[in-house]
Amino acid sequence: MSTALKPPPPAPESRAPRPRRRSKAKDSSGTVLAPTTMTRIGLIGVALLSVFPLYWMIVVASRDSSAASQFPPALLPGGNLGENVMEALNEPQAHLITGLQNSLIITGTVTVSVILISTLAGFAFAKLKFRGSKVLMVIVLATMMVPLQHLGLVPLYIMMIELGWTNTLHAAILPFLVNGFGIFMMRQYTLQSVPDELIEAARIDGASTLRIWWRIVLPALRPGMVVLGLLTFMLNWNEFLWPFMVLSTDNPTIQLAIRQISTGLYTTDISMVFTGTLISIIPIAILFAIFGRQIVSGIMEGSTKQ
Amino acid sequence: MTTAVATRSTDRKTFRDRLHNFDLKGTPYLLVAPFFLLFLVFGLFPMGYTLYTSLHQWNTRSPERTFIGLENYSFLLFEFDRFGWSIVNTFGIFVIATVPQLVCGLMVASALNKRLKAQLFWRMAILTPIVTSVVAVGVVFTRIWGQQYGMVNGLIEVLGFEAVNWQGDRLTSWVAIASMVDWRWMGYNALIYLAAMQTIPRQLYEAASIDGASPRQQFWKITVPQIKPVIVFTVFMSSVGGMMLFAEPMMFGGGRLGGGSEGQFQTTSLILIDLLRTHGNYGMSAAAGWILFLVIGLVASMNYFIVNRIQGDK
Amino acid sequence: MHLHTKHRAKVGLAAAAAGALALSACGGGDGSDGDGDGTNEDGQVELTLSVFGTMGYGPLVEEYNDMQDDVVVTMEGDGSEFNDDHLPMVDSAIEAGSGLGDVVGMDEQAITQMMNNNDAWADLAEYGFDERASDYPGWKWELGHTTDGKLAGFGTDVGGMGLCFRSDLFEEAGLTTDREELAELWSDWDGFKSVAQDFVDSGIDADFLDSPTQLQNMLLGQLAGTGDGDMYVDDEGNLTLDSAANTEAVETILELNDMGAIGEYVSWSDEWNTAIAEGGFAVMACPSWMTGVISGTAGEDNAGNWDMAAAPGVAGNWGGSWLLVPSQSQHPEEAAELASWLTEPEQQVKVFEDVGAFPSTLEGAEQVADSTNEYFNDAPVGQIIADSVAAMEPLVYSQYHHAVKGAVEDVLNGVVDGTYTSDEAWDVMQSEAENAIQLSGL
């Protein structure tokens, strides 16, 4: 469910003066308490639980299919990973490679467009005075609360049928360009990181609004854009329902390909299913490994930014 | 640029003035236009069209649209038991998913809020599940909760109990599906709580320590009340997502939309899609869509109301 | 200079977005939406063959493309599920008036619903293909006609019936593993019940049957064929759950379930697949096409563990498909030629050898009548299926059949997993079936 991934909007009111951020992680905590042994053990347990299903996916993906039904479960990876990967990629009914390509195109397009639309509108809402801006911003906030892509699903589906767009990638892309969260987030970033004086100075120099956006706002928003881009990418990479409606099993996104490989095929090999599933999360896992710090701070700042 | 402007003739200047005027008054609308155009076409229009469709009999077997008033609604609400149950299922799964997520999330956040080394490592570790998609979670967890070959039942049998048919009952299937939601979101929520905890002034804890309050007391007396608005907010944000739960129960049911033999884990979204795809009934699935929309609207306004209340209390 | 680089970057960003959109448009454009005139730059006719499940046409499409130069065929939908993917796609494409492909596979459970829609299909008799009537048994030929008499397509396979059993589990349970003896033992359904009882009494750690639904399909196919043909529902949407066929089928299942002979493996689920490989159950209803499912799912390790015997009771059918040519095809004649070629006896035999789907043409059935299946202990699959098909009576499915079928199967699964008692089953079935008809928009 895509809506669940949306980082919640900031807490409605700041409850207390925010302490200055310290530069060192260990000092950033609000308490003076040192962790007890129990705390450490508990944390290790939670971390293991968080990682185990993923690890088990790798284990089964690197063995043969009986590994998934053994008890006690196999806990060490086997040697079949390469073989299984080749088999999964070459399985003609699964269309994993098409799925990866389509997901890259859809997710990439949505991400670039959302960043573009959000930085433009976020800047307008944060720094420009125009009639009706308050009402319009309320509409933006309302779209954050209610996932329209899912509620308007029936007519969207009928629309796509009548336009003859079913099984086309733009049918999968267009509804997801409506993203109130991105605008909200970019508005907050703009408010915070672009001083009014800078904009006024540029105006006096005769710079147009678009030029100000380009030369002053965008550079200041860069960290925010990275976070927005990462979250949008992850969200859309994992989107399932709408592509399921409008695309076919031959022209799937990666998520549809996984559904097909795991429940759609008339004959099934579990280790291949797990291999396919593993392949589907690799792009996100890579992003996570590279940008983990930004993702963590993006989520945390998203919740407290005023 | 500015020097070039200075050399321009006066009539050009008025043109430029007009341009400048438009830039101030008009450009803001141009900047926000893309979003609102898309919103109109892919947000507002479909909602209206759903309403129109829901008042008609229209399906693949009778392609002519016939106006039938609220019949689709009354059938779903008063005659088709599964629909009412689907709302119960949706809420049930939501509750089972939310409570442990909340408790664990708070505990983990409070653990991370201590003086730990390698903060980033821990944060990333608990956030790992977020890299997986709902489909991937569905694939793995459906195996884990399998009746005959599942890991959980394997453990239960080793302990000397009888294997459970997790799909067979309402409650057991809810637990299995809720576990998928839990696993995927617990760490994410913990990070949000952690962020909120870090805004709590350190002096509060210092004062409490001096008064001899134990860590447990500090947690319940200081931490939880201080971050209450954030807790409420995460609960209600996940409630909107929870109302739309679709992929997890679908994967758990082997890719099918029926949600078990008597629909014991059929969520409202599953029924909506089932109506659309299996039955080709556009009119009735549109009605189901509007009912779901109203339910979400209700939940969202409760959200708003409660958050306001809490702020008012302070 | 600095400003220029920035500007260029901006243009680049905009171009990237536009490019991505354009790319996505192209990516979709080469789908099945039939734009242009359906020919490629070499002037060849491009045809799309839209299939589902395991129809086994991959190698044949290659062969067809190699043997002539005028037509290029692309196959879509291989492996897609009929009810969840293929049928919704066909429904929406008919509604849209495009995107259906040129030749469309259609399963028996929805063939009537399709043939009720006269406008959706081309008339292949116009191109002289009514001459193929003599290839087929009458019923299979007739079902490929619309209600106003157009020849919309040709039959591919028939299911026929056999019973697949795990000889290793039968041996463990102390039962005979000889397929002739077993066929004798379960020559009627009472005999089948007593074998089931013996198996249950042996107490081995496996179920006798996989699920109620596979058996239900088999029983219903048999009994409706010998009776008045009524199954669940007529074409006007009136339920006939009390038909002789359904009554006896459900009662048989309830009895077997009370005996503890039916497992809780929901057909086509993960666990069901695993159980086929791991020996979770011993017996499964086996139309011809199921042999391909079993060998593919159980894998090489289980070669020889599965075997096939003649089914109890009388002859009957479960499953079988058609290849139809929709009226929206831009090249109906070429499409008809392709559909006809794919369903010729010779090609049907190749499909049988490849994926186990039994030929529906008379000549094709004759050719495979003495084939054996190595995977199934060299069982005489051809003969078992041919016998069941030769004596079978045709079935006519109503347009509501598949909706009601889903509801009935849910209830049967619910009886087996303990959701409903046997006594409740009939009432629940009636109300769920009524709902299913309402949901389908009556």
The answer on B208 and B129 residing in a single domain is yes
CA pair distance B47, A13, nearest whole angstrom: 32
Cβ atoms of A130 and B23 within 8 Å: the answer is: no
Residue at B112 is within a domain: yes
Conformational region of residue B240, where left means phi above 0, alpha means psi within -120 to 50, and beta covers everything else: alpha
Six-digit token pair at A220? 């200041």
What is the distance between the alpha carbons of residues B36 and A180, in angstroms, rounded to a whole number? Answer: 10
The C-alpha of C50 sits at a distance from chain A's nearest C-alpha, in angstroms, of 10
Inspect the interface and report whether the beta carbons of C411 and B257 lie closer than 8 Å.
no
Task: Kindly report the number of other CB atoms within 10 A of residue C201's CB atom.
Answer: 12
Q: Tell me whether residue B2 is in a domain.
A: no
d(CA B196, CA A14): 10
Nearest CA to C93 out of A22, B258, A167 is that of: A167
Does the pLDDT of residue A15 top 70, yes or no?
Answer: no
Q: Does B244 touch chain A (CB under 8 A)?
A: yes
Among A196-210, B10-24, B275-289, C138-152, the range scoring the smallest mean pLDDT is: B10-24
With an 8 Å Cβ cutoff, is A124 touching chain B? Answer: yes
Residues B83, B76: contact at Cβ < 8 Å? Answer: yes
Give residue C7's pLDDT.
Answer: 46
Is the CB of residue B119 less than 8 Å away from at least one CB of chain A? yes
CB B282 within 8 A of CB C88: no
CB contact under 8 A, C92 and A105: no
C103-107 vs C71-76, strand pairing mode: unpaired
In this predicted structure, the answer to whether residue C4 has a pLDDT above a threshold of 70 is no
Do B50 and B93 lie in a common domain?
no
With a cut of 0.90, is the ipTM above it? no
Q: Are residues B43 and B93 in the same domain?
A: no
d(CA B127, CA C192): 55
The tens digit of pLDDT for each residue in C44-94 reads 899 999 999 889 999 999 999 999 999 999 999 888 888 888 998 898 888
Sheet strand arrangement including C207-209: C207-209, C281-286, C162-166, C306-310
Mean pLDDT of A268-282: 88
Residue among C77, C345, C309, C288 at smallest CA distance from C185 = C309
Q: How confident is the model at residue C25 (pLDDT cuts 50, 70, 90)?
A: very low
pLDDT band at B10 (very low <50, low <70, confident <90, very high): low
Residue B76 lies in a domain: no
So what's the pLDDT on residue C159? 86
* 3 state SS of B58: strand
Q: Which of A121, A209, A270 sits opposite B35 (nearest CB)?
A: A121
Q: Quick one: pLDDT band at residue C211, thresholds 50, 70, 90?
A: very high
Cis peptide before C312 (omega within 30 of 0): no
Query: What would the two tokens of residue A62 be?
Result: 């690197």
Angle at B203 between CA B202 and CA B205, to 5 degrees: 70
A158 vs A145: CA distance, rounded Å: 24
Percentage of the residues of chain C whose pLDDT score is greater than 70: 91
Instruction: For residue C146, give Cα distances in angstroms to A113, C109, C112, C232.
Output: 48, 15, 8, 22
- Is the same domain home to B155 and B35? no
Query: Which chains have at least 3 CB atom pairs separated by less than 8 Å from chain B?
Result: A, C
Per the CB < 8 A criterion, the answer to whether C238 and C259 are in contact is no
Q: Based on the domain organization, do B146 and B209 belong to the same domain?
A: yes
d(CA C278, CA A69) in angstroms, rounded, equals: 9
Contact (CB<8Å) B276/A234: no
Find the mean pLDDT for residues A258-264: 82
Residues B22 and B135 in one domain: no
What pLDDT is stored for residue B313 in this prediction? 57
Tell whether B219 and B100 lie within a shared domain: yes
B281: domain CATH number is: 1.10.3720.10
CB of B151 closer than 8 Å to CB of A73:
yes
**Interchain contact, B148 vs C271, CB within 8 Å:** yes
Q: What is the DSSP letter of A178?
A: -
pLDDT of the residue at C415:
94
Average pLDDT over residues C386-410: 84
- Lowest model confidence (mean pLDDT) among A20-24, B139-143, B280-284: A20-24
Q: What is residue C39's predicted lDDT score, i.e. its pLDDT?
A: 81
| pLDDT tier, C28 (very low <50, low <70, confident <90, very high otherwise) | very low
* Selected residues 61-120 of chain C with any CB under 8 Å from a CB in chain A: 76-81, 84-85, 89, 92-93, 95-99
Burial of A153 (C-beta count, 10 Å sphere; 0-12/13-18/19+)? buried
Nearest 10 degrees: CA dihedral of A242, A247, A253, A255? 60
Closest CA to A302 of B233, C340, C358, B303: B233
B65-69, B81-85, B216-220, C246-250: the lowest-pLDDT one: B216-220
Quick one: average pLDDT of B37-47?
Answer: 90
Q: Is residue B73 part of a domain?
A: no
Same domain, B184 and B292: yes
Helix runs in A128-177, H state only: 133-145, 148-151, 153-162, 169-173
Distance (Å) of CA C243 to CA B69, C45, C229: 35, 49, 9
> Under the phi-then-psi rule, with left for phi > 0, alpha for psi from -120 to 50, and beta for the rest, what region is B263?
left
Q: How many contacts, defined by CB atoms under 8 Å, are there between A and B?
A: 375
Quote the pLDDT of residue C165. 96
* pLDDT reported for residue C442: 58
Write the DSSP symbol of residue B76. Answer: I
Tell me what pLDDT residue C392 has: 78
- The answer on B104 and B42 residing in a single domain is no
Mean pLDDT value across chain A: 83
Asked whether the beta carbons of A188 and A121 are under 8 A apart, the reply is no
Q: For B143-172, what is each residue's pLDDT tens digit?
A: 899 888 889 999 999 999 998 989 888 999
- Domains of chain A (ranges, CATH numbers): 35-79 (no CATH), 81-304 (1.10.3720.10)
pLDDT digits over A229-252, tens only? Answer: 998 999 899 999 999 989 988 899
* Confidence band of C120 (pLDDT split at 50, 70, 90): very high
Range from A217-231, B157-171, B224-238, C368-382 carrying the lowest mean pLDDT:
B224-238
The rounded distance, in Å, linking the Cα atoms of B252 and B166 is: 10
Mutate to test the interface with B, among C6, C439, C440 (most CBs of B within 10 A): C439
Question: What order of strands is seen across the sheet that includes strand C320-324?
Answer: C71-76, C45-50, C103-107, C320-324, C153-158, C358-359
Residue A303: pLDDT band (50, 70, 90) is low
B152 interaction partners in chain C (CB closer than 8 Å) = none
Asked whether the beta carbons of residue A94 and residue C79 sit closer than 8 angstroms, the reply is yes
Give C77→chain A minimum CA distance, Å: 6
Closest-CA residue to C293 (of C265, C321, C268): C268
What pLDDT, on a 0 to 100 scale, did the predictor assign at position B94?
93
- Does residue B281 sit at the C interface (CB-CB below 8 Å)? yes
Q: What mean pLDDT, rounded, does chain B reach?
A: 87
- Provide, rounded to the nearest whole percent, the portion of chain B with pLDDT above 70: 94
Q: Which 8-state DSSP code applies to residue A25?
A: G
Strand locations in chain A, DSSP E?
none
pLDDT tens per residue, range A56-110: 999 999 988 777 777 788 888 888 888 889 888 888 778 899 999 999 999 999 9
The whole-angstrom separation of Cα B310 and Cα B285 is: 37
Residue in A179, A259, A285 nearest the CB of B131: A285
How far from chain centre, in Å, is Cα B64?
36
Torsion, CA C167, CA C172, CA C174, CA C175, rounded to 10: -20
A146 touches chain B (CB under 8 A): yes
Question: What DSSP character marks residue A74?
Answer: P
Give the pLDDT score at A1: 36
Task: State the distance between the two ends of chain A, measured CA to CA, in whole angstroms.
Answer: 26
Q: Which of A64-78, A196-210, B254-268 has the lowest mean pLDDT?
A: A64-78
Q: Is residue B175 included in any domain, yes or no?
A: yes
Binning pLDDT at 50, 70 and 90, where does residue A264 land?
A: low
Phi then psi for residue A30, to 5 deg, are: -85, -15
Distance (Å, whole) CA C51 – CA C77: 5
- Pick C399's closest partner by Cβ from B58, B61, B275: B61
Q: Give the best-scoring range by mean pLDDT among A15-29, A201-215, C327-341.
A: C327-341
Write down the mean pLDDT value for chain C: 87
Count: domains in chain B: 2
What is residue C36's predicted lDDT score, i.e. its pLDDT? 54
B150 and B189: one domain? yes
pLDDT the model gives residue C3: 40
Residue B167 lies inside a defined structural domain of this protein: yes
Triad C126, C128, C133: Cα angle to 5°: 115
What is the pTM (predicted TM-score) of this model? 0.84
pLDDT, position B12: 61
Q: How far, in Å, CA of C243 to CA of C182, rounded?
A: 30
3-state secondary structure of A172: helix
Q: How far apart are the first and last CA of chain C?
A: 71
Q: Which residues contact B171 (CB under 8 A, 6 or more apart)?
A: none
Q: Which residues make Cβ contacts (< 8 Å) with residue B17, sequence separation at least 6?
A: none
How many angstroms from the chain centroid is the CA of residue A244? 18
User: Which one has a higher pLDDT value, C28 or C113?
Assistant: C113
Percent of chain C exceeding pLDDT 90 equals 58
Tokens 């979101």 label which residue?
A: B185
Q: What is the pLDDT of residues C31-54, one digit of tens each?
A: 333 445 678 878 889 999 999 988
To test the contact with chain A by mutation, choose from C92, C104, C300 the residue with the greatest count of A C-beta atoms within 10 A, namely C92
User: Could you report how far apart the first and last alpha carbons of chain B are, in Å?
Assistant: 54
- B300 shares a domain with B177: yes
For chain A, what percent of residues have pLDDT higher than 90?
A: 44
Full residue range of the structural domain in which residue B98 is found: 81-313
Q: How confident is the model at residue C325 (pLDDT cuts 50, 70, 90)?
A: very high
The pair of structure tokens assigned to B200 is 């709590």
Weakest mean pLDDT among B36-50, B147-161, C9-23, C413-427: C9-23
Q: Verify that B13 and B153 share a domain, yes or no.
A: no
Q: How confident is the model at residue C412 (pLDDT cuts 50, 70, 90)?
A: very high
Please report whether residue B155 resides in a domain. Answer: yes
Q: What is the pLDDT of residue B312?
A: 60
Domains of chain C are 45-158+320-368 (3.40.190.10), 162-314+372-439 (3.40.190.10)
Each residue's pLDDT tens digit, C254-308: 999 999 999 988 888 888 988 999 999 999 999 998 998 898 888 888 999 999 9
Three-state SS for chain C is CHHHHHHHHHHHHHHHHHHHHHHHHHHHHCCCCCCCCCECCCCCEEEEEECCCCCCCHHHHHHHHHHCCCEEEEEECCCCCHHHHHHHHHHHHHHHCCCCCCEEEEEHHHHHHHHCCHHHECCHHHHCHHHHHHHCCHHHHHCCECCCCCECEEEEEECCCEEEEEHHHHHHCCCCCCHHHHHHHCCCHHHHHHHHHHHHHHCCCCEEECCHHHHHHHHHHHHHHHCCCCCCECCCCCECCCCHHHHHHHHHHHHHHHCCCECCCCCCCHHHHHHHHHCCEEEEEECCCHHHHHHHHHCHHHCCCEEEEECCCCCCCCCEEEEECECCCCCHHHHHHHHHHHCCHHHHHHHHHHHCCEECCHHHHHHHCCCCECCCCCECHHHHHHHHHHCCCCCCCCCCHHHHHHHHHHHHHHHHCCCCCHHHHHHHHHHHHHHHHHHCCC
Short-list B141, B235, B130, CA closest to B179:
B141
Residue B144 lies in a domain: yes
